[in-house]
Structure 1
């Protein structure tokens, strides 16, 4: 019970200390150049989360007389680590958006993960797992960024519409994800950073009863995340 009270006190105290310590978790309101929306950067979010976690750990491992010092020290260390991951992914996201602007590839951010959605109409011909030559330059840009930010790993997921058998769709989606992987490794990306999967028609994002829906479902998704 005393341990629980001590941790609760640490959390409250850490917020009080952090509110006056802008270097730990600054409020970084930025404007997304693609959506025009104001948002808090992932760097600031990561720093804030890391700071609170560090503060709690600092309090739990400090003696009673040094508890305030332990909270502040833990907050500073935790904030630096949390902000570092967020900053790293922020920079990588910005470069990917710059390379992929106007290509038809969607760049989406989910916490510390970056998702690249590559529609089938610009990556592969119907029923084929051979990359369209027009798409090579797009993957060249992706490989350039991924080689620069080498502390991330890559999941390549293939998806299809519902036309054809489930077994053939799963096989085709796996072959397509592997084609993207082969191309990226051929450009010098470390194969150990890459995982491929084919989900066939099992994960639609649109209605397969319409032509537009089927086109949206035929896609390859690249998920970029920090190496765990």
Structure 2
């Protein structure tokens, strides 16, 4: 019965958002449902929209806040952040898109520009782009940041796994070196286990070689819920 009531309440809240929570997206100029309104639905409903976090959500939020990260209003500011990231990385090959049903931001860093073949040293020319990304993350401190490394299927699985980890760690460390709070950042390598395209022809393989940065906004509600959950453990 309790579950039914919670589900009904969540549906009602979503219906209310649909009719009353509209804003103008600065990226498109079109009307859309406000992420601020989505963020106010409640912990259970909003949490269900978010993808997983490296190391778990509750501990990550509490740790990040302890390191100086703050919660904010998730909504129009996120749209502004996406627009700024697109402007700051224009022409670099970086792809900036909303993800997780519009509740997070994903940056796809191109392999051939970010790293030389088989290397995990960030290319000097790309460091300027990451400098701008880091400055953006500092400007918008109300988020957690996951860095993922991926490879293609060329070479052994073991070497690909190791390279994916090294590249993800290299990007994470670079962001930290530029002032991004280390408590906000985690990294993980996935090797060749999450291919973007299924191919063995060698033509589309570069699409599989990438580093992704996922930015997951956190609100004051998220912080309070995480702190209460940890205290109750």
Give me the TM-score of the superposition, normalised by structure 1: 0.71
* Corresponding residue of 1:40: 32
- Structure 1 outlier segments of 4+, above 3 Å: 1-16, 29-33
Residue 108 of structure 2 corresponds to which residue in structure 1?
Answer: 117
> Are 2:40 and 1:50 aligned?
yes
Q: CA deviation at 1:95?
A: 1.4
Give 3-state SS (helix, strand or coil) of 2:170's partner: helix
Q: Indicate the structure with greater helix content.
A: 1
Find out whether 1:190 has 2:181 as its counterpart: yes
2:76 matched residue in structure 1: 87
Q: How does 1:15-30 map to 2 (within 5 A)?
A: 25-30=20-25
Q: Which runs of 5+ in 1 are unaligned?
A: 20-24, 55-82
Q: Measure how far apart 1:15 and its partner are.
A: 6.0
Q: 1:208: how far off?
A: 3.0
Can you list the C-alpha shifts for 1:158-181, whole angstroms capped at 9, x where unaligned?
Answer: 000001111110000000011111
Describe how 1:160-171 pairs up with structure 2 within 5 A: 160-171=151-162
Provide the rounded CA distance (Å) in 2 between the counterparts of 1:88 and 1:193: 18
Contact 1:208 1:217 in 2 (8 A): no
After superposition, the CA RMSD in angstroms is 3.4
Tell me if structure 1 keeps the 8 A contact 2:165–2:190: yes
Segments of structure 2 that go 5 or more residues without pairing to the other structure are 44-71, 223-233
- Selected match of 1:221 from 198, 204, 212: 212
Q: Relative contact order, CA 8 A, sep 6+: which one is greater?
A: 2
